[in-house]
């Protein structure tokens, strides 16, 4: 069977390795990125470049979008040169960005008027997961479209779950981000307590990661906090964008999320230090400000 022609829009930290994995798997790939220089490496390895999202849609069976926020997704889909203007009735659009569930449902409704099916399929696993094709992918939208795209998802990730109708992929991702953000804050507070009490932080990490407090955040971000290694796997500013989406969606539901609101403000203090482009482990900086001490002191 001939491999489906895939279009890929958005070649950032996550998008580029995902596009490269699709290329390695043998899929014909047409790409577009707002900053055209980011297309060069993928084109050199065999992809075709397009001049607009519209052209990507015209040349593809399935279009994947991986951009930053709800307005960016709306622009590449519904904008003057957007996917919708190059859409054909058999097209499937997979949005793998993290956006508002409400916006995802609106986009799905607009595309359905052109006979286009949409899946909202945000991911978890960061840059490492994108490169190693081990992402967790949570998907909302029509089940028949999900089944048709399952081979593509299997190229990109390991845990692939259809969560329900349109918007449920994004809703799942926002739940994920609440748990991640509060976990990061917990790691920062636990390490700060240990530092102020004079505990050997490396021994502390060694023992608590092996017990009930163990988590991905503790194992991966805890040592980086101790080493003051703030190189980004996932940036503070992107975590903040996701938390804004969470709090806005919670407001639509009339749901209080006090812990999430606190972490959002703590990370704002980190942004005020000019560290929005640092990794989320830089959350420790806000705790250091409150404690009046460095973690390693």
Burial status of residue 260 (CB atoms within 10 A of its CB: 0-12, 13-18, 19 or more): buried
Q: Are residues 143 and 207 in the same domain?
A: no
Backbone angles phi, psi at 119, to 5 degrees: -115, 130
| Both tokens assigned to 166 | 């349109």
Same domain, yes or no, for 248 and 186?
yes
DSSP state of 135: E
Q: Which residue among 165, 181, 201 closes a domain?
A: 165
Query: Does the residue 297 lie in any domain?
Result: no
What is the maximum span of the chain, computed from C-alpha positions, in angstroms?
Answer: 65
Q: What are the pLDDT digits (tens) for 171-203?
A: 999 999 999 999 999 999 999 999 999 999 999
Does pLDDT of 1 surpass 60? no
* Residue 297 reports pLDDT greater than 60: no
Q: Which of 135, 165, 195 is the last residue of a domain?
A: 165
Compute and round to an integer the Cα radius of gyration of the chain. 20
Last residue of a domain, one of 165, 193, 227: 165
Confidence of residue 3 (pLDDT cuts 50, 70, 90): confident
Q: What is the pLDDT of residues 145-162, one digit of tens each?
A: 999 999 999 999 999 999
Q: Spot the catalytic one: 54, 173, 224, 278.
A: 173
Assess whether 262 and 178 both reside in one domain. yes
Residue 233: what pLDDT? 86
Whether 173 is a known active-site residue: answer yes
**Cβ-contact 119, 99 below 8 angstroms:** no
Q: What is the pLDDT of residues 16-40, one digit of tens each?
A: 999 999 999 999 999 999 999 999 9
- pLDDT tens-digit series, residues 101-141: 999 999 999 999 999 999 999 999 988 899 999 999 999 99
In this structure, is residue 1 part of a structural domain? no
For residue 157, give the nearest of 3, 17, 12 by alpha carbon: 17
Q: How many domains does the chain have?
A: 2
| 136 lies in the same domain as 180 | no
| pLDDT tens-digit series, residues 250-270 | 999 999 999 999 999 999 999
Residues 156 and 176 grouped into a single domain? no
**Mean of per-residue pLDDT scores for the chain:** 96
- Asked whether residue 193 falls in the same domain as residue 239, the answer is yes
- Specify the CATH number for the domain of residue 235: 1.10.1040.10
pLDDT at 99: 97
User: Is residue 296 assigned to a domain?
Assistant: no
DSSP 8-state secondary structure symbol assigned to residue 199: -
Q: Which domain holds residue 115?
A: 6-165
28 domain-assigned? yes
Supply the pTM of this predicted model. Answer: 0.94
Cβ-based neighbour number of residue 75 at 10 Å? 16
Q: Clarify whether residues 159 and 192 are in a common domain.
A: no
Distance of alpha carbon 42 from alpha carbon 31, whole angstroms: 8
pLDDT at 2: 73
């Amino acid at each position: 069977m001939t491999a489906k022609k895939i279009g890929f829009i958005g070649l950032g930290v996550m998008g580029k390795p995902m596009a490269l994995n699709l290329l390695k798997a043998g899929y014909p790939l047409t790409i577009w990125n707002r900053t055209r220089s980011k297309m060069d490496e993928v084109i050199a390895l065999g992809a075709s470049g397009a001049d607009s999202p519209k052209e990507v849609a015209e040349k593809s069976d399935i279009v994947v979008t991986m951009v930053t926020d709800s307005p960016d997704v709306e622009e590449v889909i519904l904008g003057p040169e957007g996917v919708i203007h190059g859409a054909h009735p058999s097209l499937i659009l997979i949005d793998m960005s993290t956006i508002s569930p409400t916006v995802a449902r609106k986009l799905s409704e607009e595309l359905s008027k052109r006979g286009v099916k949409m899946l909202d399929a945000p991911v978890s696993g960061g840059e490492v997961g994108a490169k190693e094709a081990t992402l967790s992918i949570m998907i909302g939208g029509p089940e028949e479209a999900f089944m048709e795209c399952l081979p593509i998802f299997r190229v990109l990730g390991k845990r692939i779950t259809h969560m329900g109708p349109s918007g449920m992929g994004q809703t799942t991702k926002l739940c994920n981000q609440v748990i991640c953000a509060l976990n990061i804050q917990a790691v920062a507070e636990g390490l700060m307590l240990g530092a102020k009490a004079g505990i050997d932080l490396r021994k502390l990490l060694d023992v608590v990661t092996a017990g009930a407090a163990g988590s991905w955040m503790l194992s991966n971000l805890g040592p980086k906090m101790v080493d003051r290694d703030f190189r980004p796997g996932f940036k503070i500013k992107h975590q903040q964008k996701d938390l804004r989406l969470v709090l806005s969606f919670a407001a639509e539901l009339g749901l209080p999320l006090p812990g999430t609101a606190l972490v959002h403000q703590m990370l704002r203090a980190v942004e005020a230090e000019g560290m929005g482009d640092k990794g989320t482990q830089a959350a420790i900086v806000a705790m250091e400000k409150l404690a009046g001490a460095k973690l390693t002191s």
